[in-house]
Structure 1
């Protein structure tokens, strides 16, 4: 799938155009399956408190709670609000907490999306219930070095093709911004993201993507 990597506001506008179409197109996580009941939560549905980052201490072995850097805390809080929505209204009561960095834990998100009937709506919630919260999280996302993002996604796309997904497209650069590859277009599904072959390739190539890019291509 294709989410542009540009400044947060531009990212928001372009990503949402794709995300809103999720319930119709059965859009995938990483990148459909029909809708199913949310089922019982595998874990406690309550939102965990925001954990403190450990801070270095002058005394060896002495650790005191620290805080997230400015900006990162705002991003984390926005992601937690999105996660809460996904659990309460989006149809995914077992949606995982973000990492301390603020980025979603895509290994866990992909695992949920790989379950039968649970792929549709894994981003933005079923029927787009959590698109506003996702928009806010995207707006708070720290800027990413576009050249590094492009190189990372290019390596990932090549890996996907090498692992059997021959129609996985390369990312592109537009006006200095990296545009993710994947499916040829939202209306052109060149490969089945629910197939065992795709899931195997994605697992093999997940390390190619930098943190923050692992759910965008």
Structure 2
């Protein structure tokens, strides 16, 4: 598999994650032995997260996400549990905190998963060690406005073409759901996602995507 193919596969991950989590759960149930990227055993405890916003930064360690902002939802709490699991049981000590909205910073997640042997950082950890937490995140995620998502991705696709990525395709609507655009042939990519021109366009157009859509196209 080429680097461009793996990069595109990570970008499409969240469209298929509902289908893959049951597989991860099965793998986790059937697996044995060391299942973490950093050598953590199955008996590692998940670090507790302070419930107040008054905790001193010095009191936190590398495996504990930031404290929960006031008024945040069950989605944010579920995401924090997932992040904590990925850091402690998954072994990805630099797995990023969720944004204030509760969504992950997929740019940072993809950066971690692009490292040799760490692609599982984008899909629940090795052997699905955090698949339970990931499934709870997906169940808690607020329902999205598909029309607004489509309009956001359309604006992003237009921006990408305006900034030199001429083959970047528009999103589509299918069954009432917004489907991302991007490479016209993801199975055999024609857009070099590692080129300076592409990265420059991504940076110029990143604000076109609504929160939670980064990494979708």
Q: Aligned partners of 1:213 and 1:145: how far apart in 2?
A: 12
Q: Deviations over 1:83-132 (max 9, x none)?
A: 12322344521011102221113454455457x54873341155463444
1:15 match = 17
Whether 1:88 aligns to 2:88 is yes
Which stretches in structure 2 are left out of the alignment for 5+ residues? 1-10, 24-36, 39-59
Q: CA deviation at 1:179?
A: 1.0
Whether 1:52 aligns to 2:69 is yes
Query: What SS does the aligned partner of 1:152 have?
Result: helix
Whether 1:197 aligns to 2:214 is no
Q: CA deviation at 1:141?
A: 0.9
Structure number with higher relative contact order (C-alpha < 8 Å, ≥ 6 residues apart)? 1
**Correspondences of 1:49-198 after superposition (within 5 Å):** 49-53=66-70, 67-68=71-72, 73-109=73-109, 112=112, 117=116, 120-125=119-124, 127=126, 129=128, 130-184=130-184, 186-198=186-198
User: RMSD across aligned C-alpha pairs, in angstroms?
Assistant: 3.3
Structure 1 residues 145-154 or 198-207, which shifts more?
198-207
CA contact (8 A) 1:2 1:183 kept: no
Give every structure 1 segment of 4 or more consecutive aligned residues whose post-TM-superposition deviation is greater than 6 Å: 18-21
Q: CA deviation at 1:195?
A: 3.3
Which stretches in structure 1 are left out of the alignment for 5+ residues? 5-10, 22-36, 54-66
Query: What SS does the aligned partner of 1:210 have?
Result: coil
Query: What SS does the aligned partner of 2:67 have?
Result: coil
Structure 2 length-normalised TM: 0.64
